[in-house]
Amino acid sequence: IGMAKDMTRTGGKVYLEVFAYAPKYDPTSGKVNKECEHGASCHGGEMLFALPQGRSKGTPSSPLFMQELKFAQTYSQEFIKFIAGFDPVWAPFEPIGESMNFYDGKGPYVKAHYRSDQCRVLDNSVGSVWPAFYHIGTTPLPPLP
């Protein structure tokens, strides 16, 4: 979030996204992340939807996977539109609301202050060990009880 804030402060347009879709098909057999085999949404798994593979690779085209195949095609079209410079379905990051885009089986949506509490705890518990440049523009928090 800090880097996104810095980039927007200097005029950059930033998009943050969480791939929130738990795939039914894991072609890597858990090599990316064992939790992917149990319905978790995995970062590495996103690439199979952003850039789906053809020729017997990627999501199978059997009736059991048709909904997943359709999702992969839709997500891929949105992803390619974005990297080609067209208006994305994702909302730009807003530093005040710390907006985070999510994309799941229903499509894109935005959550404000996603993981803010987690970041505060991490900053408070281990923030002092981070290099000085991580502390620029941050407010020290009181110690945890």
Mean of the pLDDT values across residues 85-102?
91
H or E stretch covering 117? helix 116-126
The residue-averaged pLDDT of 62-88 equals 89
Q: Which residue has the higher pLDDT, 92 or 138?
A: 92
Range from 65-69, 91-95, 101-105, 108-112 carrying the lowest mean pLDDT: 65-69
All residues at 6 or more sequence positions from 19 whose CB lies less than 8 Å from its CB, including other chains: 41, 43, 45, 46, 49, 103
Residue 43 near residue 26 (C-beta atoms within 8 A): no
Distance of CA 92 to the CA centre of its chain: 13
Kindly list the domain boundaries of the chain, sorted by start residue: 2-114
Q: Which residues contact 81 (CB under 8 A, 6 or more apart)?
A: 87, 88
| Per-residue pLDDT at 36 | 57
Q: Find where tokens 């530093």 sit.
A: 95
The total of other beta-carbon atoms located within 10 Å of residue 120's CB is 13
Residue 1 has pLDDT above 70, yes or no: yes
Global pTM reads 0.70
The pLDDT value recorded for residue 21 is 82
Q: What is the mean pLDDT of the chain?
A: 77
pLDDT of residue 31: 58
Q: Evaluate if residue 144 carries a pLDDT over 60.
A: no
pLDDT single digits (tens) 12-64:
999 998 888 877 766 665 555 666 555 556 666 787 788 877 666 667 777 88
